Amino acid sequence: MLTQIIFSFLVSGSTSILNNVQKKYFVLCGISGVIAALAYNYFIAHNNAAISSLISCVILSICSQFFAQMTKIPSMVFTISGIMPIVPGSLLFKAFNSLAENNYNQAINFGTQAILVGFSIAIGFLINEVLSSVLLNLKNAVKKI
C-alpha cells in the first residue's frame, strides 16, 4: 500500500513536470494523484473498474477544485496530473496480450473493460467542468448580492 502511494505521488508529480506546471505545485499534483489512487483502490473492492473509475474521478474533481481555489490556477492542472494512476493501461496491455495469444474472448473482455473505464474517466472530466462552471456562477452570484 505504501509503495502504491509513493508511486502514485511520483507519477502524478512527474506528469505535472511534463506538462510544464510550475515546480511549486508538484506536491499538490502528487497529492491529487494519491487521492485518486486511494479512492480507486477503495471502490474497486466493492464495484467493477468502470464504476470505481467514475467515483474516483468525481472525488478527484472535487479535490482539484479545492486545490484550484487554494492556488488560483485552473483545476485541470490537478485533474490531468491526478488522473494518471487510474488510466486503464494494464487493461489495454492485457487486451493486446490476449490478442497476441489468439485468446479473442479474453481480449474482448479486457478491451470492453478498458473502453468502459475510459468513458468513466471522460464523464469524470465532464463532471469536473460542470462543477467548476457551477461554482464560478455561484461565486459571481454571491458577489452581486
The mean of the pLDDT values for the chain is 90
Q: What is the pLDDT of residues 110-133, one digit of tens each?
A: 999 999 999 988 998 888 788 778
SS3 category, 70? helix
The arithmetic mean of pLDDT across residues 32-39, rounded, is: 94
Percent of the chain whose predicted confidence (pLDDT) is above 70? 100
Q: CA-to-CA distance for 49 and 113, rounded, in angstroms?
A: 7
- For residue 113, the number of C-alpha atoms closer than 13 Å in the C-beta half-sphere is 20
Residue with the three cell numbers 467542468: 129
Sequence-distant (≥ 6) Cβ neighbours of residue 7 within 8 angstroms? 85
